[in-house]
Each structure stands twice: as structure tokens, then as C-alpha cells.
Amino acid sequence: MAFDYDLFVIGAGSGGLASSKRAASYGARVAVAEHDLVGGTCVIRGCIPKKLMVYAAHFGEYFEDAVGYGWDPVKPNFSWQKLIAAKDAEILRLNQLHTKWLKDAGVHLFPQRATLVDAHTIAVGTERVTAEKILIAVGGEAIRPEAIPGIEHTLTSRELFHLPQQPERLAILGAGYIAVEFAGIMNGLGSQVVQLVRGDNILRGFDEDVRNTVYDGMTDHGIDIRLITRLEKIEPVADGLSLTLKDMEQPVVVDAILCATGRAPQVAGLGLEQVGVELTLMGAVKVNEFSQTTVEHIFAVGDCTDRANLTPVAIAEGRAFADTEFGGKPKAISYDLIPTSVFSQPEVGTVGLSETVAAAHYGHDEIVCYKAKFRPLYHTLSGRTDKTLVKLVVHQPTDKILGAHMVGPSAAEVIQGIAIALTMGATKKDFDNTMGIHPTAAEEFVTLR
């Protein structure tokens, strides 16, 4: 059978873009369908706009910190509208750039929604096209807990990026990295933030020292984090939105509510089930180590597979898929030692195992941790009490470093380099034998004793 394309990709996010361009470089005839801006969650409503807003949120403190360094105090004015307009302009520029790169690579872009008609046929707008291989790269989307009455009055991160006015009072539901990051952003931009957490701490799954250090830093900066809190209902009132909390007499009244309680694969309406593509119990596309679904010629990468929901992972999966299927170079991705960050305030960088996970896997007696918590040099003159944490989790019998964790300024930048060392199998002795750069926070990793 003759097909219109060798590869048809549904979704032009990180994984879809990476796979389509790599496949085209091998001579494949490739098309991509995307009904939204090209770039996916990361570019449009995730990593990039979020990081731009993180930068913006720091300037208020910079003005204050400058006084300790001899600068006269100033009264800065912040414009939410200017920030959002500048952010939108940058997102549009990136969308146009990614669109151009697809064209330059010889990939045909369908700016419409695509669905599967049968195992080799895709409906795109009013057209139907065929492809020998199909790749699902539709990503994920924020979800709301339906059981809470009034949850429809909440925003997700998608809407928060486009609010016409900055809320003076903001409630955030959730304890994960998205909730924690937006709490820091909005607090830094001047909103009064209350974060409602069902559990006993934020950032579940991260190292306990990291969780506690971030919690202390956030509360020290004025974020009202309420742990072990159950939201019973949300109601519109004259001066905003009222949140009724279990076992609390007085409701919390705010101007807006961000629901950051989780994300789910965006696979509804694609027609996957009717062509035999199986989903996991959590609704993600089921794939093997080569991103192949239960249908031999249909594949999936990125957040819709729910393996590791990170942009670099989706890119790596997309390229590995193209190398395997079109480049004759079979490749599977390793999900060990994936470095990650939380652009919270304070910032987190981490790679490898937490102390808890390492102890559970190897036994408490075989794990030794080295850590330091200190006031960074910058704040000796700013007057702030912010703390930086560095921590290494080491397997004592082999001296191998199993995990590295940092909380503090530029933590993500520092951990990216350390991740290389851990990937190469670095030991504590290797770190001990490495000269530090003084005075930096990063040098603490090679002076821990």
C-alpha cells in the first residue's frame, strides 16, 4: 500500500518537533498536525513563560537587597499588563521560529486537530491522509478534582498566564512543583498568596531535607502555606471567591484560585481505542522501551505516555524513536539519573535518589549523607535570612554518589553539571579530589565532609 507520508505526528510539542525533524533528516516524508501554537506546553504555557515570570518575580527583592550594598532605596512600580504582553510576544516569536524550523526540515504542518480514522488513516480538518507510521505526541493537560463543589470557578496554569488583571489575593490548591512555583511567582510579584495543601508537606517525592528547606524559605518570604487542609467547597461572594475549609470556622476569601493538583494525558477524542491502542489505568498511552504502542506501527512519546513528564525527556524520546525507526540505530532511553528542577523561591535542583528512596533500596546501614545548610554570601549584606542547602546521598560500600540535591540560588544550573558526574558514576572520593571555585555555593559539594 502506498502511503501519503512515512510518518504522521499528532502534536507539535517538544517530543513531536524533535521526532519529526529527526525523521525528516533521514529522508522520511513527515507531516505534523497541531491545532494550537507550535511548541507545545513547554513553549506556550509551561517552562518558558513560567521561567520568564520567575525572573520577573525576583526584581522586587533585588531592589530591596540593593540597599544593603549601598544603593539608595527606590519605590518600583510593577505592571502585570506589561509583563503579560512581553511574555506573549516572546511566545509568539518562539512559535514562529519552531514553525520555520519545521518548514526548513521539510516537514509539512497541518494547523488543525487530527484524529485516527483507522490504523493508517488520519482525519485532519476536512482532509484524510495516510501514513505508514503514526506518532502520538499530544502531551498532557491540567486537571481539576471534580469532587469539590464550585471547582469550576478555579483557574489552571493555562488561564493564569493570560489573566488581564493580577489578583491581589490568590489561593493555590496543590503541593507539587507547579503549585510551589506559582506561589513563589505570584508572591514575588506582590499578590497575597495562600497555598492549601492536603498532606503534611509540599513537594512529595523529593528529598525530605529539600522539602523542609523550600517550605521554610517560602513561609519566610510571606507565603501562607496551610498543611493538612481539606477544601470542602468554593462559592462566589460579593468580594471574590470564598473557600470553605474543613474544621475552620472562617472561610478564606480571595480574588482568584489556581488549581494545580495534577495533570493528565491529553488523549481524549484521538480515536486510540478504536484502532487498538491500549491505555494504562491512569489514562496514559501504554508503550514499550522503544515508544511502541500495542499497535505495531503506532508510537507515542512525551507526557501522554506518563513516563517522566519533562521536556528534555520528551525530546530524547522523540529523537530515539526517529533514530530507531528511520535511522537504523535502535535506541532506548534510560530514565535513571534524570536531573530536574523546581523554579520555586528558593530554587531546587536535584538528580538521583533521595535519602529515603536510597535507604529503602540499599538499606539504612549502607547509606551515608553529607550535607551543609548555610546563609549564602550574597545575603550577608542584603540582610535576609535565606538558607542554601547542598546534600549528597552516598552508597557507603562502593562510595558511589546516588543522589545530589540543592536548594538555593542557581540550584538548577549547578545540578546540571553535577548530573554529568553522577551519570559517569562519580564517587564521593571523586568529589573530594575536585577543587572548588571560591567563593561559590557550588564549591560546597566538593568540600562536604
Residues with active-site annotation: 438
Distant-in-sequence, close-in-space partners of 57: CB < 8 Å, separation ≥ 6 = 184, 185, 186, 187, 188, 189, 345
SS percent in the chain: helix, strand, coil, step 5: 35, 25, 40
Inter-axis angle of helices 208-220 and 177-188, nearest 10: 20
**Among positive and negative, which fits the CA dihedral 204, 207, 213, 214?**
negative
Of residues 239, 230, 258, the one with CA closest to residue 162:
258
Q: Angle, to 10 degrees, between the axis of helix 177-188 and the axis of helix 47-67?
A: 40
φ, ψ dihedrals at 302, nearest 5°: 85, -160
Total residue length of the chain: 449
Q: Which residue has the cell 491540567?
A: 142
User: Angle at the Cα of 120 (from 114 to 121), degrees rounded to 5?
Assistant: 45
Could you give the CA distance from residue 242 to residue 310 in angstroms, rounded to a whole number?
34
- Contact assessment for residue 114 and residue 12, using Cβ atoms and an 8 Å cutoff: no
Closest CA to 346 of 303, 315, 375: 375
DSSP character string of 99-134 = HHHHHHTT-EEE-S-EEEEETTEEEETTEEEEEEEE
Q: Give the full edge-to-edge strand order of the sheet including 169-173.
A: 224-226, 192-196, 169-173, 256-259
